[in-house]
Each structure stands twice: as C-alpha cells, then as structure tokens.
Structure 1
Amino acid sequence: MAPSPYAHDIEPRLLRAFTAVADELHFTRAAARLFVAQQALSRDIRRLERELGADLFVRTTRQVTLTADGARLLPYARGVLAACDALSDAFRAETRPLLVDLNTTGLANGRVLERARELAPEQELMARYESGLTGAAAQILAGGLDVSFGRFGGLGPATRAGLASQFVRYEPMAVLLPEGHPLAGLAAVPLAALAGESVYAGAGNDRTAEWTDLAARLFAGRGITVAPRAPMAVGFEEFRRIMAKLGTPALVVVDFPPVPGSVLRPLVDPVPLSPVSLVWRKGLRHPGLDALRTAAAEIGAREGWLERPADSWLPADEAGVPAV
C-alpha cells in the first residue's frame, strides 16, 4: 500500500478510532465505546491505513489482530492523543466540570469525592452512579467520562495501557443475604460456609466484568459458584428490586448501602479484599483530578486504607496494588 503524501496531517480522530479498535480488537465494541456507527469507524480505519500506506489490522470473520505496523503505531498514537488532550486542557477558557463515576451510593468513593469538593470548592465535580469499572474505563478512553473507581487489575492490559491509576483502598468484601437465609443470623460469614451456594456477582453485565472476575477467582476451589446472568440493573433501586426478586446471595463490599429485606454480613476466614483504585485517562490534567488524588491519599493515610489486613485474600499478581 503506497503512503499518501499527506500522512503527516493525520487527524487525531483517526488515531482515536485506531486505538479503540486496538484496545478492543473488535470493531463493534470499539464503535460502541466511541459512540459512532461501525461503518463510520471502519471508514476511518481504512482512511488511516491509506494515509500511512500500511495495513494496521488483520481482519477475519473470527477475530481482529494488530499487524506489525499496527503494533508499531500504537504507542505513537497514544502519545499524540495524550498531547492533544493536554493541549485542550491547557487552553480551555474555563475549567470544565469533571465527571466522576462513583458506581454506587454509600461507598467510600463518595467520601473521597466530598473531600475533594472541600479542597477545590471552585471546581465542579459531577457525580454519577452507574457503571462498573469495565464500563467506565471504555467511556473514559472515549472521552465521555473523566474518572472512576474500581479494580484496575480487572481491566485488560490494552485498556490499562491508556489509563492512569492511584491505589485508594483495600475494601473488605461482604455477602448480602435474604433475611430468611440460614446464614443471616451469623455476625460474619466464613467463606467455607458459602460452599454449595450460588452467589450473584454481576455475571453477564459487561460493565462490571472486573467484579465478576474477582468473584470467580475468590470462589474457585471453595465450592461456591457465580450465579447465572440476571437482568442488568442500572442504579441502586433497580439492583434492590432484582435482588428481592431473585432471593439470591450477592457479593458486595462492607460499605454497601442497606437493602430492605436483606442483611449484609462481612466475609471472613480469610477476609477477601476488593482493591479499589482511582482511574483516569493518561494525560488528563484537571484541578478536580488533583483534588481527588489528594483527598484519596489524605483519607487513606488517616484511616489505614492502604494497610492490608492480616488473614486476607487478594488475587495473585493483582495489577495496580502496592507491592508487598
């Protein structure tokens, strides 16, 4: 493929399309992440290939893979996009609101946000309560969201490559039980007591894949199964309704808000941990992000969030957590 004489004038939009496909290795998912039609995305990729004079992807009916030229382009594309984002932020007439996904009301993430608002009262930090980190990460990379919280190590390496993170907390995990469940009378539930149970952990919800993966790793070898897919609940009220309808135990964290008709019990022997990080797009510069990072470090130091409890469990080689 002969290169175009205008290859030096590559539009950032084309590079954004390329990195989305490179991350997802799937045109449909990449198009959804960028909020564009798949045909438009394919058109941009073909145009970029013409301008560079190189095939960037090998496409078959079964899979999409990077060519050698595509792999060579990827770090340059990320660098250009990071520079474009930094330039936009540096010359913005007024600092725009920072959109922060807290996932669910009542979690420790909300305390970080409130402290950040105190530290930077002139900034507008807008909260949202919707996605798991998998869904949020896709929107962060697409530019539709700025910051989220969650298990950074549960994201794929290609997705993590476009993101930055700051470890915030070892969050102890718990089980949400229907009031009439045989284990509901315990003050804390040993993991071994859940043997034979099917526990809901968001299976089938592509926004929370990192949480389902964490549950599968925790349950492996303990006789506990991840409950099958349930209707996707967006927002706390819908989650509460679905849980009441299913009557199934659910894997949550100890700060999860109360659910009528259910009891929350911490898990022990060992204490399973959900590693929570603050996550944002590489290159993002915003005073609100600075305030969030300061708030997380301040509260974490004061309340021991960065101290791993004794007799605890965490996936082996978990990315994004402090080295032991």
Structure 2
Amino acid sequence: MSGTPAPLDPRLLRAFLAVAEELHFTRAAARLYVAQQALSRDVRRLERELGADLFLRTTRQVTLTPDGERLVPYARRVLAAQDDLLAAFRQARPLLVDLNSPGLVTGRAVLHLARELAPELELMARFESGLTWAAAEIAAGRLDASFGRYAGLDPALRAALDHQPVRHEPMAVLLPEHHRLAALEEVPLDALAGERVYAGAGNPRTREWTDLAHRLFQGRGIEVAPPAPLAIGDEEFRRIIEKSGDPVLVVVGFPALPGTVLRPLVDPVPLSPVSLVWRKGLVHPGLDALRRAAARLTAERSWLRVPATAWIPAVDRDGASAGT
C-alpha cells in the first residue's frame, strides 16, 4: 500500500508557472526576484517530486513538454486557491464577544471603546447568560471573548483560557418594590439575615455567580434561594421575582425592571471581580483592541481599586485575578 504523497511546496509551482509563461529562465527569475540558479533548482526539484520532465531545454529555447502543459492549469488553480486563502485571513473575521446581558455596564463600555479604537474591525456582541457557559463556548472555539468572574470557573476550564482583570464591580440587590427593605437607599448585608436571595442556583450557565453568592452569604444568616425556572427575557424574569418575592443578587449596573428597585449593598461593600476572558493562544486584532480598551478604562476609572471597607473573595484576591 502506497504512503501519503508528500505535499508540494507552492514556491515550486510559482517557479514552474513563471518559466511556463515566460519560456525563458532569466526573465522568469527576474519576475520572481530570485537568482536564475535558484529558479532552475526549484524547477528541477519539482520535476523530481512529480517524476516528470516539464520543460525541454536547449541553448536557444525553452518549451513545455506534454506533462508541463498538463500541469499548467492545475498549478494555476492551486496558487489561486492559496492566494484566496491568504487574502481571507489578512482580513480579520468578526470577533464574537459575549456581554452576558444587554444592560450590563462593564462589558458594554469596553466593547464601545474597542470599536472606537479599531473602527475598521467588526466586533460582534452576543448576549448570553453566565461566564460558565460562555467560557465553555470560548474553549470550544464557538465564541471569542466574554466578561465575568474568572476565579469561579472550573480549574480544568481555566487551563484553556487567558484573562485580564478589568473591574471589581460593586454588588447590589434587586428588590420587589413592596419588599420590606425597598425603602432603604442602601441595604446593609446584615439586613438580609433571614432572607432567601436568588443568585442563579440551579442554572448551569451561571455557576460562578452562585459560587460568589455562597461565599458572600456564608456565616451571615443569608440563604441562597433554591433553583427557580430559568427565565428568558426581562418580562419572564420580572414575573419570577414577583412570584417568589425574593431579593436577587446583582451588580450596581444591573438594568432597572418595572416593579423593582435596585439597592447597593454596604457594610461591607461586596465586589464582584470581572475579567475579560478569551481562549488561550487566540490571536486577533479585535482581541488586541478589547484588551487596550479594558486597560484604559480600568486605569482611568480606578476599576480595580479595593477600598478598605470592601469585601472580595480570598480566592479572587489571592490567585485567579492575577493578569496574564
């Protein structure tokens, strides 16, 4: 059984076509900006690899053999396909960026600035729920970047990803407007003692957020609310809130919903660590623009500052939030 044929170097085909079209080695070498000796060597190598004579050479002229004439259209198609491939990849494909939700502030601000920094690129927003889901899509190559709590991901998944810390985002609670705490301008954490607070429990897409809630509520007498039906869209989400009456753990930039009030958490101020996350080894000018935009906003707005009165999980502070 014969083995797999060795691949042909496109350079050899370009050398062949130049000679076939010029029927003159000196002119063909000048056209390719190579020495005539190097061109002759490439043609001889191609003849050896194909096992066929491609040219008849005399002191007066160069002509194609029947095998040479047969090769011309194949060589042109191969080189045209290579040129098309290279042209396609010189023009960057759209970068797919998950922002989690249309109303969340951090990712949207970074994406907006990245588009200003690189207007020639196409950065396409996606709106899916949860970094756990998005990270798996990134690792599988179906998504390019997302935002969220990197330290809350499974270590095996983190091994396939890189990240850049962007912000420590203050957390809040979304309350039904008739809730006992709705009249407060800010809600102390201790005031939630005895409450059930919804934090995505049971939603496989948002495990990193549920883990953050467990860490925050531990030892404070606050219960993570049991799983609720997965609500798709603001109307269904608001209906679930009204039906359960439970506060919802969110960030301060969470979009307002009719029939609810948003109240920042204090004493201490809990912080949700947000990173820009992408697939390890990804090279794309759109990712470069996102990283530049994130770095600028982080610096200008002091997004990574941790006040002495703030709370942040030790796992986020001590290891997983170190930038790459």
Normalising by structure 2, report the TM-score: 0.70
- Matched with 2:320 is 320
Distance 1:166 1:322, change over 3 A: same
Tell me whether 1:232 sits opposite 2:235 in the alignment: no
- Matched with 1:99 is 96
Tell me whether 1:166 sits opposite 2:164 in the alignment: yes
Aligned 1:83-232 pairs, distance under 5 A: 92-107=89-104, 108-232=106-230
**Offset of residue 223 of structure 1:** 0.5
* Letter aligned with residue 105 of structure 1: P
Give secondary structure in 2 for the equivalent of 1:218.
helix
**Offset of residue 322 of structure 1:** 4.6
* Letter aligned with residue 133 of structure 1: L
Unaligned stretches of 5+ residues in structure 1 = 7-87
The answer as to whether partners of 2:234 and 2:257 remain within 8 angstroms in 1 is no
**Offset of residue 234 of structure 1:** 3.5
C-alpha separation in 2, matches of 1:115 and 1:237: 30
**Offset of residue 244 of structure 1:** 2.9
- Matched with 2:34 is none
C-alpha separation in 2, matches of 1:93 and 1:287: 11
Distance 1:132 1:245, change over 3 A: same
Give secondary structure in 1 for the equivalent of 2:100.
coil
The answer as to whether partners of 1:104 and 1:236 remain within 8 angstroms in 2 is no
Aligned 1:282-321 pairs, distance under 5 A: 282-318=280-316, 319-321=319-321
Post-superposition Cα deviations, 1:18-42, rounded to whole Å, max 9, x if no partner, equal xxxxxxxxxxxxxxxxxxxxxxxxx
Post-superposition Cα deviations, 1:266-287, rounded to whole Å, max 9, x if no partner, equal 0011111100000000010111
- Matched with 2:73 is none
C-alpha separation in 1, matches of 2:193 and 2:301: 33
* Letter aligned with residue 174 of structure 1: A
Post-superposition Cα deviations, 1:205-233, rounded to whole Å, max 9, x if no partner, equal 00000000000110011000000101112
**Offset of residue 90 of structure 1:** 11
C-alpha separation in 1, matches of 2:302 and 2:272: 15
Distance 1:237 1:101, change over 3 A: farther
* Letter aligned with residue 96 of structure 2: L
The answer as to whether partners of 1:253 and 1:274 remain within 8 angstroms in 2 is yes
C-alpha separation in 1, matches of 2:86 and 2:194: 52
Unaligned stretches of 5+ residues in structure 2 = 5-84
Which structure's CA Rg is the greater one? 2
C-alpha separation in 1, matches of 2:86 and 2:236: 36
**Offset of residue 129 of structure 1:** 1.1
C-alpha separation in 2, matches of 1:122 and 1:238: 38
Give secondary structure in 2 for the equivalent of 1:92.
helix
RMSD: 2.0
**Offset of residue 309 of structure 1:** 2.0
Post-superposition Cα deviations, 1:120-154, rounded to whole Å, max 9, x if no partner, equal 11111111111200000110011111100000000
* Alignment length (residue pairs): 238
- Matched with 1:30 is none
**Offset of residue 248 of structure 1:** 1.5
* Letter aligned with residue 321 of structure 1: S
Distance 1:90 1:273, change over 3 A: farther
The answer as to whether partners of 1:163 and 1:279 remain within 8 angstroms in 2 is yes
Q: Provide the identity percentage.
A: 67
- Matched with 1:264 is 262
**Offset of residue 91 of structure 1:** 7.4
The answer as to whether partners of 1:131 and 1:208 remain within 8 angstroms in 2 is yes
Give secondary structure in 2 for the equivalent of 1:240.
helix
Normalising by structure 1, report the TM-score: 0.70
C-alpha separation in 1, matches of 2:120 and 2:236: 34
Give secondary structure in 1 for the equivalent of 2:125.
strand
C-alpha separation in 1, matches of 2:250 and 2:161: 25
